[in-house]
Structure 1
Amino acid sequence: MQESNDVTLDELGPVDYLVVEFPAGAQNFTGEMADELTRMSEAGTIRILDMLILQKSDDGSVDALEIDDIPGTDDIRALEATIAEILAADDVEHLAAAMLPGSVAGVLVWENCWAAPFASAARRAGGQLIASGRIPIQAIAASIEAEISAEEGN
Protein backbone atom coordinates (compact mmCIF):
# COMPACT_ATOMS: atom_id res chain seq x y z
CA MET A 1 0.00 0.00 0.00
CA GLN A 2 1.45 3.35 -1.03
CA GLU A 3 1.23 6.33 1.32
CA SER A 4 1.94 10.02 0.88
CA ASN A 5 5.38 11.18 -0.15
CA ASP A 6 6.10 7.70 -1.61
CA VAL A 7 6.43 6.13 1.86
CA THR A 8 5.10 2.60 2.19
CA LEU A 9 3.68 1.22 5.41
CA ASP A 10 6.83 -0.88 5.83
CA GLU A 11 8.91 2.30 5.87
CA LEU A 12 6.91 4.20 8.50
CA GLY A 13 8.51 5.00 11.81
CA PRO A 14 6.75 4.73 15.16
CA VAL A 15 3.69 6.94 15.53
CA ASP A 16 3.00 8.87 18.72
CA TYR A 17 0.41 11.34 19.93
CA LEU A 18 0.13 13.92 22.66
CA VAL A 19 -2.56 16.15 24.05
CA VAL A 20 -1.62 19.55 25.46
CA GLU A 21 -4.33 21.16 27.57
CA PHE A 22 -4.69 24.88 28.13
CA PRO A 23 -6.99 25.72 31.06
CA ALA A 24 -9.62 28.41 30.62
CA GLY A 25 -7.99 31.83 30.63
CA ALA A 26 -4.45 30.43 30.42
CA GLN A 27 -4.05 30.22 26.65
CA ASN A 28 -1.05 32.10 25.29
CA PHE A 29 -0.78 31.12 21.63
CA THR A 30 2.22 33.11 20.41
CA GLY A 31 3.09 30.87 17.49
CA GLU A 32 6.12 29.40 19.27
CA MET A 33 4.66 25.88 19.27
CA ALA A 34 3.90 26.08 15.54
CA ASP A 35 7.46 27.31 14.91
CA GLU A 36 8.90 24.30 16.75
CA LEU A 37 6.68 21.86 14.83
CA THR A 38 7.77 23.50 11.59
CA ARG A 39 11.44 23.23 12.57
CA MET A 40 11.14 19.52 13.47
CA SER A 41 9.12 18.73 10.36
CA GLU A 42 11.48 20.56 8.01
CA ALA A 43 14.48 18.83 9.64
CA GLY A 44 12.89 15.44 8.90
CA THR A 45 12.68 14.52 12.59
CA ILE A 46 8.90 14.12 12.54
CA ARG A 47 6.06 14.00 10.06
CA ILE A 48 2.77 15.38 11.28
CA LEU A 49 -0.07 12.98 10.58
CA ASP A 50 -3.00 14.66 12.31
CA MET A 51 -3.76 17.78 14.35
CA LEU A 52 -6.94 18.68 16.20
CA ILE A 53 -8.10 21.38 18.53
CA LEU A 54 -10.51 20.20 21.23
CA GLN A 55 -12.74 22.62 23.12
CA LYS A 56 -14.50 21.32 26.22
CA SER A 57 -17.41 23.45 27.38
CA ASP A 58 -18.44 23.91 30.97
CA ASP A 59 -21.22 21.34 30.49
CA GLY A 60 -18.65 18.75 29.35
CA SER A 61 -19.56 18.70 25.66
CA VAL A 62 -16.60 18.64 23.28
CA ASP A 63 -16.07 20.29 19.92
CA ALA A 64 -13.26 18.90 17.76
CA LEU A 65 -11.82 21.06 15.02
CA GLU A 66 -9.44 19.79 12.36
CA ILE A 67 -6.58 22.19 11.81
CA ASP A 68 -8.02 22.77 8.31
CA ASP A 69 -11.11 24.32 9.91
CA ILE A 70 -9.22 26.96 11.89
CA PRO A 71 -8.49 30.32 10.26
CA GLY A 72 -4.90 31.56 10.33
CA THR A 73 -3.27 28.12 10.45
CA ASP A 74 -2.02 27.95 6.86
CA ASP A 75 1.66 27.55 7.83
CA ILE A 76 1.10 24.64 10.20
CA ARG A 77 -1.61 23.11 8.02
CA ALA A 78 0.95 22.80 5.21
CA LEU A 79 3.01 20.46 7.45
CA GLU A 80 0.25 17.89 7.85
CA ALA A 81 0.81 14.76 5.73
CA THR A 82 -1.87 13.68 3.31
CA ILE A 83 -2.51 10.55 5.39
CA ALA A 84 -3.98 12.85 8.03
CA GLU A 85 -7.28 12.65 9.89
CA ILE A 86 -6.47 9.29 11.41
CA LEU A 87 -8.23 10.02 14.71
CA ALA A 88 -11.81 8.75 14.89
CA ALA A 89 -14.70 10.17 16.91
CA ASP A 90 -14.13 7.53 19.62
CA ASP A 91 -10.50 8.67 19.90
CA VAL A 92 -11.63 12.26 20.39
CA GLU A 93 -14.02 11.27 23.17
CA HIS A 94 -11.30 9.27 24.91
CA LEU A 95 -8.76 12.09 24.66
CA ALA A 96 -11.23 14.74 25.81
CA ALA A 97 -12.20 12.73 28.91
CA ALA A 98 -9.07 13.93 30.69
CA MET A 99 -9.72 17.59 29.90
CA LEU A 100 -11.11 20.07 32.40
CA PRO A 101 -14.36 21.87 31.55
CA GLY A 102 -13.71 25.21 29.86
CA SER A 103 -10.30 24.15 28.55
CA VAL A 104 -8.84 23.94 25.07
CA ALA A 105 -6.42 21.21 24.00
CA GLY A 106 -4.24 20.60 21.01
CA VAL A 107 -3.87 17.03 19.79
CA LEU A 108 -0.87 16.11 17.69
CA VAL A 109 -0.22 12.76 15.98
CA TRP A 110 3.21 12.36 14.38
CA GLU A 111 5.52 9.83 12.85
CA ASN A 112 8.99 9.61 14.37
CA CYS A 113 10.88 9.78 11.06
CA TRP A 114 14.22 9.54 12.84
CA ALA A 115 13.29 6.02 13.99
CA ALA A 116 11.86 4.78 10.68
CA PRO A 117 15.03 2.98 9.47
CA PHE A 118 15.31 1.04 12.73
CA ALA A 119 11.57 0.23 12.75
CA SER A 120 11.77 -1.00 9.14
CA ALA A 121 14.80 -3.17 9.94
CA ALA A 122 12.99 -4.66 12.95
CA ARG A 123 9.94 -5.49 10.82
CA ARG A 124 12.10 -7.07 8.08
CA ALA A 125 13.74 -9.22 10.77
CA GLY A 126 10.29 -10.44 11.84
CA GLY A 127 10.04 -8.24 14.93
CA GLN A 128 6.97 -6.42 16.09
CA LEU A 129 6.47 -3.72 18.67
CA ILE A 130 4.81 -5.24 21.72
CA ALA A 131 5.23 -2.42 24.23
CA SER A 132 5.98 1.27 24.22
CA GLY A 133 5.73 4.01 26.79
CA ARG A 134 6.84 7.38 28.01
CA ILE A 135 8.55 8.38 31.21
CA PRO A 136 7.19 11.75 32.38
CA ILE A 137 9.91 14.38 32.73
CA GLN A 138 8.73 14.99 36.30
CA ALA A 139 9.60 11.37 37.18
CA ILE A 140 13.06 11.72 35.66
CA ALA A 141 13.67 14.98 37.53
CA ALA A 142 12.54 13.38 40.81
CA SER A 143 14.85 10.41 40.23
CA ILE A 144 17.83 12.67 39.53
CA GLU A 145 17.08 14.79 42.60
CA ALA A 146 16.81 11.66 44.78
CA GLU A 147 20.14 10.40 43.45
CA ILE A 148 21.83 13.74 44.15
CA SER A 149 20.38 13.82 47.66
CA ALA A 150 21.59 10.28 48.32
CA GLU A 151 25.09 11.14 47.10
CA GLU A 152 25.20 14.26 49.26
CA GLY A 153 24.05 12.23 52.25
CA ASN A 154 26.96 9.78 51.94
Structure 2
Amino acid sequence: MTVTAQPVGPIDYLAVEFPGARLEGKGLAALLDLVERGIIRILDLRVVKVSDTGDVVAVALTDLDDDGELDLAVFEGARSGLLDDDDLAQSARLVAPGDAVGLIVYENTWAGPFVTAMREAGAEVVASGRIPADDVVAALDALESPSAG
Protein backbone atom coordinates (compact mmCIF):
# COMPACT_ATOMS: atom_id res chain seq x y z
CA MET A 1 0.00 0.00 0.00
CA THR A 2 1.36 3.42 -0.89
CA VAL A 3 1.42 6.25 1.62
CA THR A 4 -1.29 8.13 -0.27
CA ALA A 5 -3.61 5.12 -0.07
CA GLN A 6 -3.33 5.08 3.72
CA PRO A 7 -5.30 7.48 5.89
CA VAL A 8 -2.82 10.29 6.58
CA GLY A 9 -3.34 12.74 9.40
CA PRO A 10 -2.11 16.33 9.57
CA ILE A 11 1.66 16.75 9.59
CA ASP A 12 3.17 19.10 12.18
CA TYR A 13 6.62 20.07 13.33
CA LEU A 14 8.21 21.29 16.52
CA ALA A 15 11.52 23.02 17.08
CA VAL A 16 12.64 22.60 20.68
CA GLU A 17 15.49 24.66 22.16
CA PHE A 18 17.93 23.02 24.56
CA PRO A 19 19.76 25.82 26.44
CA GLY A 20 23.42 25.03 26.94
CA ALA A 21 22.93 22.06 24.59
CA ARG A 22 21.86 20.03 27.64
CA LEU A 23 20.21 16.98 26.11
CA GLU A 24 19.19 14.98 29.15
CA GLY A 25 16.64 12.72 27.50
CA LYS A 26 13.75 14.04 29.59
CA GLY A 27 10.52 13.90 27.64
CA LEU A 28 11.56 10.85 25.64
CA ALA A 29 9.22 8.62 27.61
CA ALA A 30 6.30 10.88 26.70
CA LEU A 31 7.33 10.90 23.03
CA LEU A 32 7.68 7.12 22.98
CA ASP A 33 4.30 6.75 24.66
CA LEU A 34 2.62 8.87 21.97
CA VAL A 35 4.23 6.76 19.25
CA GLU A 36 3.45 3.43 20.93
CA ARG A 37 -0.21 4.40 21.41
CA GLY A 38 -0.48 5.35 17.74
CA ILE A 39 -1.30 9.00 18.43
CA ILE A 40 1.64 10.28 16.39
CA ARG A 41 4.16 8.86 13.95
CA ILE A 42 7.64 10.39 13.86
CA LEU A 43 8.61 11.25 10.29
CA ASP A 44 11.79 13.19 11.01
CA LEU A 45 13.79 13.68 14.18
CA ARG A 46 17.00 15.68 14.01
CA VAL A 47 19.13 17.51 16.55
CA VAL A 48 21.75 20.16 15.84
CA LYS A 49 24.09 21.98 18.18
CA VAL A 50 25.19 25.54 17.58
CA SER A 51 28.79 26.02 18.64
CA ASP A 52 29.94 29.08 20.54
CA THR A 53 31.27 30.39 17.22
CA GLY A 54 27.91 29.81 15.48
CA ASP A 55 28.85 26.67 13.56
CA VAL A 56 26.00 24.15 13.20
CA VAL A 57 26.77 20.50 13.90
CA ALA A 58 24.29 17.66 13.48
CA VAL A 59 24.07 15.32 16.48
CA ALA A 60 23.73 11.57 16.01
CA LEU A 61 20.54 10.26 17.58
CA THR A 62 22.23 7.87 19.93
CA ASP A 63 23.73 8.87 23.27
CA LEU A 64 22.73 12.52 23.48
CA ASP A 65 23.64 13.05 27.11
CA ASP A 66 26.88 11.01 27.10
CA ASP A 67 25.65 8.67 29.85
CA GLY A 68 26.46 5.51 27.85
CA GLU A 69 22.81 4.70 27.12
CA LEU A 70 21.23 4.98 23.68
CA ASP A 71 18.61 7.64 24.23
CA LEU A 72 17.00 7.98 20.81
CA ALA A 73 18.18 4.82 19.06
CA VAL A 74 14.54 3.87 18.45
CA PHE A 75 14.23 6.94 16.20
CA GLU A 76 17.59 6.58 14.49
CA GLY A 77 17.05 6.88 10.76
CA ALA A 78 13.68 8.66 11.13
CA ARG A 79 14.08 10.74 7.99
CA SER A 80 11.19 11.21 5.62
CA GLY A 81 12.95 13.80 3.52
CA LEU A 82 10.63 16.57 4.70
CA LEU A 83 13.49 18.19 6.64
CA ASP A 84 16.56 19.25 4.73
CA ASP A 85 19.80 21.01 5.57
CA ASP A 86 18.18 24.43 4.99
CA ASP A 87 15.54 23.60 7.61
CA LEU A 88 18.27 22.63 10.07
CA ALA A 89 20.16 25.86 9.39
CA GLN A 90 17.01 27.97 9.81
CA SER A 91 16.17 26.23 13.07
CA ALA A 92 19.71 26.71 14.34
CA ARG A 93 19.24 30.47 13.85
CA LEU A 94 16.38 30.32 16.37
CA VAL A 95 18.75 29.49 19.23
CA ALA A 96 21.79 31.16 20.73
CA PRO A 97 25.35 29.93 20.26
CA GLY A 98 26.07 27.14 22.72
CA ASP A 99 22.48 25.83 22.54
CA ALA A 100 20.95 22.95 20.60
CA VAL A 101 17.69 22.59 18.75
CA GLY A 102 15.69 19.44 18.18
CA LEU A 103 13.38 19.19 15.19
CA ILE A 104 10.49 16.77 15.08
CA VAL A 105 8.19 16.30 12.10
CA TYR A 106 5.27 14.11 13.03
CA GLU A 107 1.98 12.87 11.68
CA ASN A 108 -1.10 13.17 13.85
CA THR A 109 -2.14 9.57 13.13
CA TRP A 110 -5.21 9.86 15.33
CA ALA A 111 -6.73 12.21 12.71
CA GLY A 112 -6.04 10.06 9.63
CA PRO A 113 -9.25 7.99 9.76
CA PHE A 114 -11.34 11.13 10.40
CA VAL A 115 -9.82 13.01 7.45
CA THR A 116 -10.29 9.97 5.21
CA ALA A 117 -13.95 9.63 6.25
CA MET A 118 -14.54 13.31 5.55
CA ARG A 119 -12.94 13.04 2.09
CA GLU A 120 -15.04 10.00 1.31
CA ALA A 121 -18.09 12.08 2.21
CA GLY A 122 -16.97 14.77 -0.24
CA ALA A 123 -15.59 17.17 2.35
CA GLU A 124 -12.12 18.72 2.28
CA VAL A 125 -10.08 20.40 4.97
CA VAL A 126 -9.91 24.03 3.84
CA ALA A 127 -7.87 25.45 6.73
CA SER A 128 -6.02 24.33 9.78
CA GLY A 129 -3.84 26.05 12.29
CA ARG A 130 -2.36 25.98 15.70
CA ILE A 131 -3.13 28.21 18.66
CA PRO A 132 0.02 28.72 20.77
CA ALA A 133 -0.28 26.98 24.13
CA ASP A 134 0.66 30.19 25.98
CA ASP A 135 -2.33 31.94 24.36
CA VAL A 136 -4.69 29.15 25.46
CA VAL A 137 -3.36 29.24 29.03
CA ALA A 138 -3.73 33.03 29.15
CA ALA A 139 -7.31 32.84 27.85
CA LEU A 140 -8.24 30.14 30.37
CA ASP A 141 -6.60 32.12 33.19
CA ALA A 142 -8.59 35.18 32.14
CA LEU A 143 -11.83 33.17 32.29
CA GLU A 144 -11.02 32.03 35.81
CA SER A 145 -10.08 35.45 37.14
CA PRO A 146 -12.65 37.17 39.42
CA SER A 147 -12.96 40.14 37.05
CA ALA A 148 -13.98 37.88 34.11
CA GLY A 149 -17.37 36.98 35.50
TM-score normalised according to structure 2 size: 0.77
Task: Describe how 1:54-65 pairs up with structure 2 within 5 A.
Answer: 54-65=48-59
5+ residue gaps, structure 2, are: none
More helix by share: 1
1:51 corresponding residue in structure 2: 45
Identity %: 38
CA-atom RMSD in angstroms: 3.0
2:85 corresponding residue in structure 1: 89
CA separation of 1:61/1:114 partners in 2, compared to 1, >3 Å: closer, same or farther?
Answer: same
User: Is the contact between residue 53 and residue 106 of structure 1 (CA under 8 Å) also seen in structure 2?
Assistant: yes
Aligned mates of 1:83, 1:28 — CA distance in 2: 20
- State the shift of 1:124 in Å: 3.7
Task: Describe how 1:2-151 pairs up with structure 2 within 5 A.
Answer: 2-3=2-3, 8=4, 10-24=6-20, 27=22, 29=24, 31-65=25-59, 67=61, 74=70, 76-79=72-75, 84-125=80-121, 127-149=123-145, 151=146
> SS at the partner of 1:17?
strand
Q: Tell me which amino acid in the other structure corresponds to 1:147.
A: L
5+ residue gaps, structure 1, are: none
- State the shift of 1:86 in Å: 2.8
Q: Tell me which amino acid in the other structure corresponds to 1:59.
A: T
CA separation of 1:126/1:153 partners in 2, compared to 1, >3 Å: closer, same or farther?
Answer: closer
Q: Tell me which amino acid in the other structure corresponds to 1:55.
A: K
User: Is the contact between residue 50 and residue 80 of structure 1 (CA under 8 Å) also seen in structure 2?
Assistant: no
- State the shift of 1:43 in Å: 0.7
CA separation of 1:132/1:53 partners in 2, compared to 1, >3 Å: closer, same or farther?
Answer: same
* TM-superposition CA deviations, 1:1-20 (whole Å, max 9, x none): 724xxxx4552111111011
CA separation of 1:125/1:57 partners in 2, compared to 1, >3 Å: closer, same or farther?
Answer: farther
TM-score normalised according to structure 1 size: 0.75
Aligned mates of 1:80, 1:125 — CA distance in 2: 38
CA separation of 1:90/1:127 partners in 2, compared to 1, >3 Å: closer, same or farther?
Answer: farther
* TM-superposition CA deviations, 1:16-57 (whole Å, max 9, x none): 1101101116x261x332211111111111111111111112
